[in-house]
Amino acid sequence: MKKILSTILVFVLVLLFGTTAYANVGESENVTVNITEDELRTGSSSVIEDALRIATDEYVKHLTINLPSGTYTLVGPLHIYSNTTLNLQADTVLVRGFDDSSLLRTGNTDEAFYGYDGYRNITVSGGVWDSKFASVTGMRFMHCDNVKLKNFTVKNICDSHHIEIGAANHMTLDGLTLTGYKRTKNTSGEAVQIDPVHDSKHFKYSHYLDDTPCQNITVKNCTFTDVFSGVGTRAGVVGSYFTNMQIVGNTFTNIKDKAICTYQYINSTIKNNTIKNATVGIFFEEYPTKNLTSKLYAPFAGIGKTKILTDVNTSIYCNTIEVKKRTSYAQSCGIGVYGGVMSTSTAKSTGLKSGSYLIKNLRIKKNKITVHSADSCGMELKYLYHSKINENTVTRSASSGNKGIALYHCNDNLLYKNTLSGAFQDGIFVKSASKNNELASNTAKKMANYAVSVSADSKVTVNASNTLSATKGAVFISNKRIEKPKLAKKLTVTRKGRKTTVKWNKVKNASGYYIYRTRKKGGKYQLIATVNKNSKTTFSETTKKKYYYKVSPYKQYKNSVVIGDKKA
């Protein structure tokens, strides 16, 4: 019976596409359809749509459709189903000839799927999709799993997205070109939008809405040119997180707003991207910087015991970013990180969940940022906790302007081996009750005001290993310029029995001294004591082993500390 049905299917394919099309249904139940140029000239999208529908037959294991070279007008949308490969030639161009739907989308609108159980095992490859600046999404993929989009162009979108992705798992965008955008409305306009399936504004077929986020999405080797925003997520559902999102090796050029915009991403990587002439390079957000109720939604199941995750475990590294203020919609910066706190009253009025939407365990490393306008900053970090910012190069080419790296409400972070140059107003700027941040081995030279500026309510440790210089002073805390303490001189160590005494000359203006010790010469020194004002201290040793000591003076003002060089 199965073989008879396969034979019938072959006959139907021949009727549909004539003798020029090749259809093969064998024991493997794989089908290949080669559509000819003549068939596309006469039937256009209806011919492709009929071929795509073959995949819905239960006896078809996988369908492959090959389109010929040439330019063809689509008179209606194409619907792609599970287990389908759609191949266009490099010079195949499909042009929009209708207004009210996407050029290509998963399945049909009458089918209701949830989670990732809709359409799977889909590949679209090659060619050009021209949307002719229609005010509708170019392509839409929802409730899907194992989708590959490779080596094609989507161009000419108005007030929408080139590609829209919702509730997708294991999806790869590789080698795509997204270009051409016209903006007539106040829309976010990501070329590739990746969203949870929550509201009918973005996903108008209400039976699809179930709050499913995307996961295991890779966007790599893609080119974004002359679009409003590049790739990313602008909205989320409380407690619903996007995981294992990989944005790698892409090129963004002439981006009016944000090149990369993430929202509620965890366990993700953003690396090796090149961004030129954007207002914002990378925008990493866990709490809305504005428009709260249009960006953060209560889950359909209710807030209940919904958990707010703070450990993002994400890396942003080895990106090359050039930014310039091109629009008023966003703070211009190379990298922006934004957490926040929702009060009980705000949660009550919005129906959301109160609490700390902090960002922890974020690694920002080896990025090269160049700022080309006076009102742009290198990095702006808010509510960032327990994270590392290291080995980044931040350069200002403009004659004057904003901050190099700015921290607001940030606690317990380590900033080390960063290099800042150019006429930044301040190199590293710490404000708004930021506590216990440490600066080590950073270089900030020739800043317009201060190399390091700290507000009175913040607490920073400025290690001696930093190289700092600026027009008004290296370090400015609250309302006072703080000089790095000079080296403690004439250090002596004497030992009688188990008692060791360390002495040194007092250092003018030092608030105290840190005492360090190691067991071997050239070994790693550990802090063992803090001495206030005195110029000697005595220890009772538990062993007769030989120790080496260092003394470092420090200056404390308000809550912050500037440490001087160590004397061995």
Question: How do residues 413-468 score in pLDDT, each as one tens digit?
Answer: 999 999 999 989 999 999 999 999 999 999 999 999 999 999 999 999 999 999 99
68-482, CATH topology level: Pectate Lyase C-like (2.160.20)
Q: Compute CA distances 243 → 9, 12, 192, 236, whole Å.
A: 41, 44, 17, 13
> By C-alpha distance, which of 45, 51, 66 is closest to 9?
51
CA atoms within 13 Å, Cβ hemisphere of 203: 28
Mean pLDDT value across residues 115-134: 97
pLDDT tens readout for residues 480-489: 999 999 999 9
Q: List the structure tokens of 20.
A: 């020029």
Q: What is the pLDDT of residue 469?
A: 95
Percent of the chain with pLDDT over 70: 93
In angstroms, rounded to a whole number, what is the distance separating the alpha carbons of residues 341 and 285?
13
The residue ranges of every structural domain in the chain are: 1-67, 68-482, 492-563
Topology agreement, domain 68-482 and domain 492-563: no
- Asked if residue 87 lies in contact with residue 125, where contact means CB atoms within 8 angstroms, the answer is yes
Mean predicted lDDT score pLDDT of the chain:
92
Burial environment of residue 562 by CB neighbours within 10 A (0 to 12, 13 to 18, 19 or more): buried
Q: What is the pTM of this model?
A: 0.94
In CATH, what number does 492-563 get? 2.60.40.10
H or E stretch including 46? helix 45-53
pLDDT tens readout for residues 277-291: 999 999 999 999 887
> What sign has the CA pseudo-torsion 472, 477, 478, 480?
negative
In angstroms, rounded to a whole number, what is the distance separating the alpha carbons of residues 350 and 97?
42
Q: List the structure tokens of 161.
A: 């997205």
Q: What is the pLDDT of residue 19?
A: 35
Q: What is the pLDDT of residue 510?
A: 96
H or E stretch including 259? strand 251-263
| pLDDT of 203 over the 80 cut | no
H or E stretch including 111? none
Binned at pLDDT 50, 70 and 90, residue 5 comes out as: very low
**DSSP characters over 497-566:** TTEEEEE----TT--EEEEEEESSTT---EEEEEE-S-SEEEEE-SS----EEEEEEEEEETTEEEE---
